[in-house]
Amino acid sequence: EVNLMSFFLVCRQVVPLMRAAAHGRVVNMASIAGKEGSPFRSAYSSAKAGVIAFTKSFGKELAHTNIRVNAIAPGAIDTEILKQLSPDDVRTLVDRSPMRRLGTVDEVAALALWLCSEECSFCTGATFDMSGGRAVY
């Protein structure tokens, strides 16, 4: 529910307000798991792949308006969730990234701010990779 349906339910509530204002930006949070799948996390990976497909479809539906719909697909980001993992598991995540480091919350926030800006007016339905080069499609 949270990892897929919440995006649809929130958009159903806010997009009419954006239409009335003739402007809006939707930034969905996907995941590297939705792009490449994660072992033993099939439900999560499937839900995040659904977020990516929803972003593509909804971006096309609203392309003729001034409402843009995009997504961010983070890889390993230095958040509280990582503190639940063992140091070896965190090292494995870092090693999967060609940049050999964790991303930061500030880096994700900067991308989200750009996606909401007028500088990003010709982009909709896209999913932006934030994995340090792990997934490049």
**pLDDT (tens digit, 9 = 90+) per residue, 44-69?**
999 999 999 999 999 999 999 999 99
Residue 137: is its pLDDT beyond 70?
no
Closest of 82, 76, 114, 79 to residue 98, by C-alpha: 76
Q: Both tokens of residue 98?
A: 């060609």
User: Could you tell me if residue 20 is inside a domain?
Assistant: yes
Per-residue pLDDT of 86-132, as tens digits, reads 999 999 999 989 999 999 999 999 999 999 999 999 999 999 999 99
User: Could you tell me if residue 135 is inside a domain?
Assistant: no
Note the pLDDT of residue 3: 82
Closest of 126, 124, 130, 18 to residue 61, by C-alpha: 124
Note the pLDDT of residue 67: 98
Give me the CATH number covering residue 94: 3.40.50.720
Note the pLDDT of residue 95: 93
Per-residue pLDDT of 11-30, as tens digits, reads 999 999 999 999 999 999 99
Q: How far, in Å, CA of 19 to CA of 26, rounded?
A: 12
Half-sphere exposure of 59 (CA within 13 A, CB side): 21
Considering its fold, how many domains does the chain have in total? 1
User: Could you tell me if residue 136 is inside a domain?
Assistant: no
Residue 36: is its pLDDT beyond 90?
no
The residues annotated with a catalytic role in the active site are 44
User: Could you tell me if residue 28 is inside a domain?
Assistant: yes
Note the pLDDT of residue 1: 75
